[in-house]
Amino acid sequence: MSAHDQRAQPIGVFDSGVGGLTVLRALQLELPAEDFLYLGDTARLPYGTKSPQTVVRYALAAADVLVRRGVKALVVACNTASAAALPAMRERHAPLPIIGVVEPGAQAAVAASRSGHIAVIGTEATVRGGAYQAAITRLRPGAVVRAMACQVFVALAEEGWIDGAVARDAAQRYLVPLFALNGKGDIASDTLVLGCTHFPLLLPIIRQSVGTAVNIVDSAATTARAVRERLEAQALLREPGPSGRGIGSLRFLATDGVARFAAIGGGFLGVAIAPGEVELLDI
């Protein structure tokens, strides 16, 4: 395949559900001329309660589908899959550029934090595996990272219950203990990382729980920049051209519940998705 043909291929983006659409939105802003093919593995969601072995198996199956569809790069827009399965995906599909969200999320956190005391929220699997804790302390040795699994946030986001009493109560239960100080010289975290791509939808209630003094960051914008740099470095970037190529196309695949994916996904992406735009896929 010529370099020109390769540049014209879409970028694959994958998550367990609609959460990765928060990353897709940032990717579209950063790379408006690119075509994107998004896969939500809705039949197997949630990933965050599964064992690392199962997450690796699911992530490899999802990557296989997107590679068969001819993507030029793959964005793993799921912290759980990034934390558990990036090495396995990269090994299987080398030299395809595969970019995860944990490292960019850790970069955003380190850039935002003055004190080096950083709180992380994610799925059970992401927090248990310690990938954020490791990535943050690699970038900033001596950083103090406190992490809390907030798995119920995934269900709330998938359900569209992003405000109201239930969401507020869940946020309080998770975040008040995370930010509580033990009174023995404990220093408050000045930054909170949303280490799950479903969580940005709950930002207003998370903000209410932690107050205005805490920086809240996620990995969407830093991931989009990392993808741009990687494509540039490999001469795979598609820029808006003088010939007038404007906004690239968007296509969606879901492994179950296309109507539900379209209805909820529109909120994550910021533009409506018609059920007819989502292809049902069995993997």
- Tell me which residues touch ligand DGL (CB under 6 A): 15-17, 19, 45-48, 78-80, 123, 126, 154, 196-198
Q: Which is nearer to ligand DGL, 99 or 237 (CB)?
A: 99
Helices 220-233 + 21-30 axis angle, to 10: 50
Is 150 designated active site?
Answer: no
**Phi and psi torsions of 153, nearest 5°:** -60, -35
Shortest CB 15 distance to ligand DGL, Å: 5
* Angle formed at CA 173 by CA 168 and CA 174, multiple of 5 degrees: 100
Q: Which is nearer to ligand DGL, 128 or 230 (CB)?
A: 128
Place of tokens 């690796």: 56
Q: Which is nearer to ligand DGL, 10 or 19 (CB)?
A: 19
Shortest CB 93 distance to ligand DGL, Å: 20
Is 196 designated active site?
Answer: yes
Shortest CB 151 distance to ligand DGL, Å: 7
Q: Which is nearer to ligand DGL, 152 or 166 (CB)?
A: 152
Shortest CB 269 distance to ligand DGL, Å: 14
Q: Which is nearer to ligand DGL, 104 or 116 (CB)?
A: 104
Catalytic residue among 83, 99, 150, 196: 196
Catalytic residue among 11, 27, 78, 226: 78
Shortest CB 177 distance to ligand DGL, Å: 21
Shortest CB 117 distance to ligand DGL, Å: 23
Q: Which is nearer to ligand DGL, 31 or 83 (CB)?
A: 83
DSSP assignment of the chain, as one string?
Answer: --HHHHHTSPEEEEESSSTTHHHHHHHHHH-TT--EEEEE-TTT---TTS-HHHHHHHHHHHHHHHHHTT-SEEEE--HHHHHHHHHHHHHHHTTS-EE-SHHHHHHHHHHH-SSSEEEEEE-HHHHHHTHHHHHHHHHSTT-EEEEEE-THHHHHHHHT--SSHHHHHHHHHHHHHHH---SSS----SEEEEESTTGGGGHHHHHHHH-TTSEEEESHHHHHHHHHHHHHHTT---PPPTT---S--EEEEESS-HHHHHHHHHHHHTS---GGGEEE---
**Residue of this chain nearest to ligand DGL (CB atom):** 48
Tell me the catalytic residues.
78, 196
